[in-house]
Structure 1
Amino acid sequence: MTDTGPEPTPRELYDAVLASSRPRHWDEEFELDRVRRLMAVLGDPQRGLPVVHVGGTAGKGSTARMIADMLRAGGYRVGLATKPHLRSLTERFLVDGRPIDPRELLQRARHLAGLVDGIGPTWFESVSALALRYFADSAVDVAVVEVGMGGTTDATNVVEPLVSVITNVGDDHVEHLGGSLLTVARHKAGIIRPGVPVVSGVTGPGVAEVVRERAAAVAAPLVELGRDLIAEIESATADGTRWRLSGPGGDRSGLWLRARGAHQVRNAALAVTAVDALAARGLPVAEPVWRAALAAVTVPGRLETLRRSPEVVVDGAHCPPKLEALAQALDELYPGRRRIGVLALAPGRDGRRSLGLVAGRFDAVVATRYRAHTEFGAISGRPTPEIARVLDGLRPGLPVHEEPDPWAAYRLALSLAGPDDLVCVTGSFNLVAEVRNRLTAD
């Protein structure tokens, strides 16, 4: 399907998908019937496609990547659909770790645009449909698919999973998923299918019961972190974590994880258990094989070090659960280090709550503002004076500099840092993408 024309730019790919769809509105109701009509015009690629379905509030992308890498190491042809992308939309269409050729994606998007009259899909719905069609056409042995938002009515919830994974339940997107943690949990639990094994990292009071009740109602075998699975850190440094896992698969000690932070250990515990469950579904992976693959997993944009002296870390934490995980990781991995934050924030976020989780971890902050094209259309981050005011209320006296241009904000942070200090770029994947793409292009 690939032609030999000029390679389309990331913006051209975004616009090509937009031609078959529309930006999603924050306050609109999701419609799974619309998604089914969309899949039908593409030949229902989800039917018969083996899938590992990964949902939850935080850690979905990392967990999905770990599962995919372990399965690839086992010799399987693996599709991986995660979000968001950092440089190009092609990153959401991986087969055996390689992104789709951008020319092929452009052709596929243009083909879809001619099929959707009267359907009106959102941008994410079109991307999800294109990914499933691509995986089916690529004859993958299994596709690992990350949920977009919620679960019950998410565009990905037309798949037929071999295993479902729910990483956790937090208060991101509460206003769009019913208004309470319990309603969020019900949406997340909506990916649990009759008789299909589910691996859950949901441990909070009330929300864990929601997952248990859904699993019991549809006779889905359930394995829970903290009850059936125990993950313990043996040692942790800025280079990685040594840990052990006890659960249905036995007692595994001496596990190594390059992806950093205690939250990644929890994600890895779920990923290993999902791979264990796939053995009974005809996709076994030998333990020495998955151990080696898991040890090598890296997750772009998540606690990723991009330079040394001063060390520069980028992390796409953008909601309270993810910012809390980042704060814990900074405390554990960089104790005593002077830290300069480069921060942006989405306009719809609770600024005081979000920034309150990390404000105490920085000795100085550079507030900035991103601009990006996303599934919600063209968006901009919160104006820098608003971020500065929130930080001043949280930590009077904290040095806060305002620089609306993300790259200039990063350069300013570097000028404030000594060789032994840490610069952390966070608050938005859109901000991380802008800075990371410039750094990795140099």
Structure 2
Amino acid sequence: MQYTEAIDYLYSRLPVFHRIGAKALKPGLGNTLLLCEALGNPQHQFTSIHVAGTNGKGSSSHMLAAIYQSAGYRVGLYTSPHLKSFTERIRLNGQPIPETEVAHFVVRHQALIERIEPSFFEVTVAMAFDFFAREAVDVAIIEVGLGGRLDSTNVITPVASVITNIGYDHTDILGDTLPQIASEKAGIIKPGVPVLIGETNPETEPVFRTMADFVNAPIEFADRHYSVQDNGILNERRNVLVRRDSELAQPFDLDLLGSYQLKNLPAVLATVSALQSLFSVSLAAMQTGLTSVTLLTGLKGRFQTLQYRPRVIADTAHNQPGLEALLETIRSIDYARLRIIIGLVADKDRSHILAVLPQNAVYYFCQAQTPRSLPAAELQLEAAGLGRIGEAFTDVNAALSSALLDAAADDLLLITGSNYTIAELTTL
């Protein structure tokens, strides 16, 4: 079986969330545990850091991976979804899992997959854990797929649990209040394992403290100990000064330019600090890693500039808090006119997302080539009802081409709204 055949098999045989949404979920950890047991329980054969949160968990995972790589460690990284290739989900020192490894895994375990009938995500988690164990990584950064408590990744016992923030997303699955969502995310907190919370919220803090106390896990709210001073963007790096409590402030240059990364930074640095006795990391390694996240890990789609004059930026923000943070960054850029190319999925509450979009932008509504995508014409109609006016396109690249034809050299073009929309850009 070749790689393309293996991927076709996984997509055709297993329910896939990014295609059909919540119907692809299989509640509970039973299938993942059965897969891992058949594989020799690889999840217990490497050291891991678990990262959850509504927004920022992907960027935070990549930042942690870049820091530990810069410190000389052998680092595994598991994230989802991918943008261009399935192999992006499973990385070793920034390099995607070889296609031959994917094919061999499917061939070796096809009978097991058909016996257990797991979801697509459950299989990819088991594949990642098997790969990290066989490659003897020093540490693996494991990003939660959805929620935490019942997420397939939650079969690990990490050395640190990281929760970036809590916001409204996947409310049909996780609950429609912040405490309910926080309770699901708090499911990754393990007995005695340090937990680092990125952003303090009075509604969710009691949830995290109660869970941490219940399992005797040390808890730190990173934003209460780390303050970040933004000095702006210079030479395509965001310069910041970070002070921990009363310590001397330290400079960092971030290649991830979004201002929302400043909210991710405290939990990342707090995690590295909490694990110094296990993984020694120098200040220089932290600075090098944060300057080179995209180069070291292959991260794409986070406030990524695709071209200049006109400037085109792609960002995978796909929910209300994510878009609010993205638009905050946009306000720090000089431009004549803002043109937004946007596509959304159909199974989310879009009213809150559309409400945060600026009324004075020019819109180009599009859709991804996936069953979950909201048809562009429907998005156009819903947006018009809120005063966001624009044309509809059935493809993101057609929308971008039209926007480029309309744009002046000093306009700003923003492509956003969905991972799946960004993934289909031919210029990414």
RMSD: 2.0
User: 2:282 & 2:235 partners in 1: Cα distance?
Assistant: 28
Structure (1 or 2) with the greater helix fraction: 2
Residues 1-400 of structure 1: matches in 2 within 5 Å?
A: 8-9=3-4, 12-18=5-11, 21-24=14-17, 26=22, 30-236=27-233, 239-247=236-244, 250-280=247-277, 282-298=278-294, 299-332=299-332, 334-360=333-359, 363-372=361-370, 379-395=371-387, 399-400=389-390
Deviation at 1:297, TM superposition (A): 1.8
User: 2:46 & 2:324 partners in 1: Cα distance?
Assistant: 36
Change (3 A) 1:130 1:249: farther
User: 2:57 & 2:222 partners in 1: Cα distance?
Assistant: 15
Q: 1:170-227 CA distances to partner (integer Å, 9 max, x unpaired)?
A: 1101220133221110110111111111110132221122112211222211121332
Structure 2 unaligned residues grouped into runs of 5+: none
- Checking the alignment, whether the CA contact within 8 Å between 1:20 and 1:113 is kept in structure 2 is no
- Checking the alignment, whether the CA contact within 8 Å between 1:339 and 1:423 is kept in structure 2 is yes
User: 2:347 & 2:366 partners in 1: Cα distance?
Assistant: 16
SS of corresponding position for 2:104: helix
Matched with 2:391 is: 401
Letter in 2 for 1:247: R
User: 1:141 & 1:419 partners in 2: Cα distance?
Assistant: 47
The reply to whether residue 427 of structure 1 matches residue 420 of structure 2 is: no
Q: TM-score when scaled to structure 2?
A: 0.93
Q: 1:355-405 CA distances to partner (integer Å, 9 max, x unpaired)?
A: 221233x52111111113xxxxxx24211222112222222xx54011112
Change (3 A) 1:261 1:95: same
- Checking the alignment, whether the CA contact within 8 Å between 2:376 and 2:392 is kept in structure 1 is yes
User: 2:412 & 2:9 partners in 1: Cα distance?
Assistant: 39
Change (3 A) 1:336 1:410: closer
Matched with 1:439 is: 427
Letter in 2 for 1:327: L
Deviation at 1:49, TM superposition (A): 1.4
Deviation at 1:40, TM superposition (A): 0.7
SS of corresponding position for 1:254: strand
User: 1:215 & 1:251 partners in 2: Cα distance?
Assistant: 30
Alignment identity in percent?
33
User: 1:96 & 1:220 partners in 2: Cα distance?
Assistant: 29
Q: TM-score when scaled to structure 1?
A: 0.90
User: 1:423 & 1:172 partners in 2: Cα distance?
Assistant: 25
Structure 1 unaligned residues grouped into runs of 5+: 373-378
Moved more, 184-193 or 261-270: 261-270
User: 2:416 & 2:330 partners in 1: Cα distance?
Assistant: 12
Q: 1:40-70 CA distances to partner (integer Å, 9 max, x unpaired)?
A: 1111100131001000110111000000010
Letter in 2 for 1:416: D
Moved more, 54-63 or 267-276: 267-276
Deviation at 1:335, TM superposition (A): 4.1
Query: Size of the alignment, in residue pairs?
Result: 420
- Checking the alignment, whether the CA contact within 8 Å between 2:258 and 2:302 is kept in structure 1 is no
- Checking the alignment, whether the CA contact within 8 Å between 1:17 and 1:127 is kept in structure 2 is no
- Checking the alignment, whether the CA contact within 8 Å between 2:335 and 2:410 is kept in structure 1 is no
Change (3 A) 1:238 1:304: farther
- Checking the alignment, whether the CA contact within 8 Å between 1:20 and 1:121 is kept in structure 2 is no
Matched with 1:375 is: none
Matched with 1:376 is: none
